[in-house]
Chains A and B, each alone.
Chain A
Amino acid sequence: MSFDLQEILKSKRALRRDLAARPLAEKLRMLDALRERALAIRPAKPAPGAGVLREEPPPYGKSDKRT
């Protein structure tokens, strides 16, 4: 382990590559676990109030208006 930023970024890329290469069933099990964790954390997050900057999601298939 080091505090060399380039090494840290390199190891992050390697971890992502390793995760991407895992068997599909294993990756889908990870999604199950990630969702459970996200739901466990979610109630602690305050609802966004007025003045909070947010992006309104457009529906699927709607083109970027600038296109």
Chain B
Amino acid sequence: MNIREVIATINQMQADGVIERYAIGGAVGATFFLEPIATLDVDIFVTFKAETGSAIASPKPIFDYLKARGGAVQGEYIVIAGWPVQFLPPTGQLVEEALREAVTQDVEGTPARVFTAEHLAAVALQTGRAKDKARLLQFIEAGALDAARFQAIIARHGLVSAWQRFEKQFLSDAP
């Protein structure tokens, strides 16, 4: 089980032209900015290449590529180096922007493209499950967010009222 091997495999897949762009999100992405966050899978956001003759982008080339290199398909996941990996297309403008503006981090010589802390926090705010709210709090408590950048992102993506509710619920002293 080795997450660095997952990242190296995805880098190779990108170099081989199977995907255009990728970025790590979810708990693994957050771990680049926070303390390690236990998770059972890896979320990789990708821009898919449309198959020849098809207008619809498909994850099939990714699965074919990885299966040929020993990856095992398990439902929506493909297992690489012991980790179930889920490839996710950008489902909205926020994630599209997060993919475009992702940063490259160096992991002992292995480059890893990761969402910025501010985008991870904004995606957590937008997704809005209890665990996403808990993660957003972790980002805030750790002082991992650039306030101006974060505010600009949530304003661009219509999340200001969600943020105000979050602030009132979790960051206000008033009951």
Hey, which bits of chain A sit against chain B, CB under 8 A?
A: 13, 16-17, 19-20, 23-25, 27-28, 30-32, 34-39, 55, 57-64, 66-67
- Partner among B36, B92, B108 whose Cβ is within 8 Å of the Cβ of A31: B36
Across the interface, name the chain A residue whose C-beta is closest to B2.
Answer: A32
Cβ distance A45 to chain B, nearest Cβ, rounded Å? 13
Task: Name the A residues within 8 Å of B39 (CB-CB).
Answer: 31, 34-35
Q: Do A35 and B91 touch across chains, with their CB atoms under 8 A apart?
A: no
Once A28-B107, A31-B28 are accepted as A-B contacts, the answer to whether A38 and B91 lie under 8 Å apart by CB is no
- Chain B, interface size category, equals 35 or more
CB distance from A26 to the nearest CB of B (A): 9
| A60 close to B127 (CB less than 8 A) | yes
| Contact A62 B127, CB 8 Å, known A24-B105, A24-B106 | yes
Question: Whose C-beta in chain A lies nearest to the C-beta of B38?
Answer: A34
Shortest Cβ distance from A11 into chain B, in angstroms? 14
